[in-house]
A and B are shown apart, each in its own frame.
Chain A
Amino acid sequence: MIDILLINVVNGVLWGLIIGVSSLGLTELWGVMKVVNIAQGETLLLGAYIVIWAYTTLALSPLIGIWVALAIGIAAGAIIYFLLLHKLIGKVEVMTLKTEMSTLLIMFALSIILSNSYYYWIGAEPKGLGTWKIFESTYYYIGSLRLRTNEIFAATFAIILTLVMYLFLSKTITGKAIRAVMQDAQAASLVGINPVKIKLLTSILGIGITVFTGFLILLHEASITPETAVKYAPIAFAVVVLGGLGNELGTLIGGIIIGFVYGLTKVIISSINPAILSDPFALSTAFMILVLTLLLKPEGLFGRG
Chain B
Amino acid sequence: MEEGDFSMTYKINLSYHLKRPTLLFIILTIIIVPILKLLNIFTTDTLIIMMSFIGYAAALNIIMGFTGYVDFGHTVFIGISGYTYVLLIWYLEPFNILQHFGSGIGALILAILAGLVSAVVAVLVGYPVLKLRGAYFAIATLGLDFAALYIVKSTVPALNPSQFMAAEIVLRRDLIVPKSMIFNAVLIAVSLTLLANYIISKSRFGIGLVAIREDEDAAEDIGVPTTKYKIIAYSLSAFFTGLIGSLMILNSGGVNEGAFHISHSIDMIVMLVIGGLGSVFGSILGGYIYYWLYDTLLVKFPGINLIILGIIVIIIVLFAPEGITGIISKYKIKNIKLRDLID
Neighbouring A residues of B138 by C-beta, 8 Å: 36, 38, 104
Nearest A residue to B128 via CB reads A295
Q: How far is the CA of A119 from the CA of B153 in the complex (A)?
A: 24
Q: How far is the CA of A87 from the CA of B151 in the complex (A)?
A: 40
B12 within 8 A of A: no
What's the interface size class on B, roughly?
A: 35 or more
- Report B126 CB to chain A, min CB distance, Å: 11
Contact of B70 among A104, A112, A241 (CB under 8 A): A104
Q: How far is the CA of A87 from the CA of B214 in the complex (A)?
A: 20
Contact A276 B158 (CB under 8 A): yes
- Report A289 CB to chain B, min CB distance, Å: 9
Contact B143 A87 (CB under 8 A): no
* Prevailing SS type, chain B contact patch: helix
Neighbouring B residues of A87 by C-beta, 8 Å: 318
Neighbouring B residues of A269 by C-beta, 8 Å: 154
A215 within 8 A of B: no
Neighbouring B residues of A102 by C-beta, 8 Å: 317, 321
Contact B68 A290 (CB under 8 A): no
In B248-281, which residues have CB < 8 Å from any A CB?
A: 262, 266, 269, 273
Contact B262 A230 (CB under 8 A): yes
B289 within 8 A of A: no
Neighbouring B residues of A119 by C-beta, 8 Å: 303
| Interface-facing stretch out of B239-247, B307-315, B334-342 | B307-315
Q: How far is the CA of A291 from the CA of B138 in the complex (A)?
A: 12
Q: Could you say which of B151, B214, B311 has the most chain A C-beta atoms within 10 Å of its C-beta?
A: B151
Contact of A237 among B143, B150, B307 (CB under 8 A): B143
* Prevailing SS type, chain A contact patch: helix
A101 within 8 A of B: yes
B135 within 8 A of A: yes
A105 within 8 A of B: yes
- Report A162 CB to chain B, min CB distance, Å: 22
Contact of A284 among B136, B151, B321 (CB under 8 A): B151
A109 within 8 A of B: yes
B216 within 8 A of A: yes
Given A97-B134, A105-B269, answer yes or no on A287-B146 (Cβ-Cβ < 8 Å): yes
Given A100-B134, A116-B306, answer yes or no on A84-B146 (Cβ-Cβ < 8 Å): no
B92 within 8 A of A: no
B298 within 8 A of A: no
Given A97-B133, A105-B273, A105-B317, answer yes or no on A112-B158 (Cβ-Cβ < 8 Å): no
In B109-167, which residues have CB < 8 Å from any A CB?
A: 125, 128-129, 132-136, 138-140, 142-151, 153-155, 157-158
Q: How far is the CA of A112 from the CA of B265 in the complex (A)?
A: 11
How many chain A residues touch the partner (CB < 8 A)? 50
Q: Could you say which of B150, B213, B309 has the most chain A C-beta atoms within 10 Å of its C-beta?
A: B150
B198 within 8 A of A: no
Nearest B residue to A233 via CB reads B142
Nearest B residue to A96 via CB reads B215
Contact of A104 among B135, B215, B216 (CB under 8 A): B135
Neighbouring B residues of A140 by C-beta, 8 Å: none
B304 within 8 A of A: yes
Interface string of A268-305 (1 = CB under 8 A from B): 01000101111111011011101100110010000000
Q: Could you say which of A113, A234, A275, A295 has the most chain B C-beta atoms within 10 Å of its C-beta?
A: A234
Q: How far is the CA of A298 from the CA of B132 in the complex (A)?
A: 8
Given A97-B68, A112-B307, A116-B307, answer yes or no on A241-B136 (Cβ-Cβ < 8 Å): yes
A141 within 8 A of B: no
Interface string of A115-130 (1 = CB under 8 A from B): 0110110000000000
Contact of A291 among B129, B154, B303 (CB under 8 A): B129
A67 within 8 A of B: no
Given A276-B154, A278-B154, A284-B150, answer yes or no on A120-B143 (Cβ-Cβ < 8 Å): no
Contact B154 A109 (CB under 8 A): no
Neighbouring B residues of A287 by C-beta, 8 Å: 143-144, 146-147, 150
Contact of A277 among B157, B216, B306, B311 (CB under 8 A): B157
Neighbouring B residues of A108 by C-beta, 8 Å: 72, 266, 269, 313
A88 within 8 A of B: yes
Q: How far is the CA of A233 from the CA of B269 in the complex (A)?
A: 18
A91 within 8 A of B: no
Q: How far is the CA of A119 from the CA of B304 in the complex (A)?
A: 9
Contact of B216 among A97, A109, A275 (CB under 8 A): A97
Neighbouring B residues of A230 by C-beta, 8 Å: 262
Q: How far is the CA of A243 from the CA of B153 in the complex (A)?
A: 28
Interface string of A18-36 (1 = CB under 8 A from B): 0000000000001000101
**Residues of chain A having any CB pair with chain B under 8 Å:** 30, 34, 36, 38, 84, 87-88, 96-98, 100-102, 104-106, 108-110, 112-113, 116-117, 119-120, 230, 233-234, 237-238, 241, 269, 273, 275-281, 283-284, 286-288, 290-291, 294-295, 298
| Cβ-closest 5 pairs across A and B | A287-B147, A284-B150, A281-B154, A113-B310, A295-B128
Given contacts A30-B135, A290-B140, 12 further A-B contacts (CB under 8 A): A104-B70, A104-B72, A104-B138, A106-B318, A108-B313, A116-B307, A120-B303, A278-B154, A283-B146, A283-B150, A284-B154, A286-B143
A-B contact pairs, 6 of them (CB 8 A): A38-B72, A98-B213, A105-B273, A234-B143, A275-B157, A280-B149
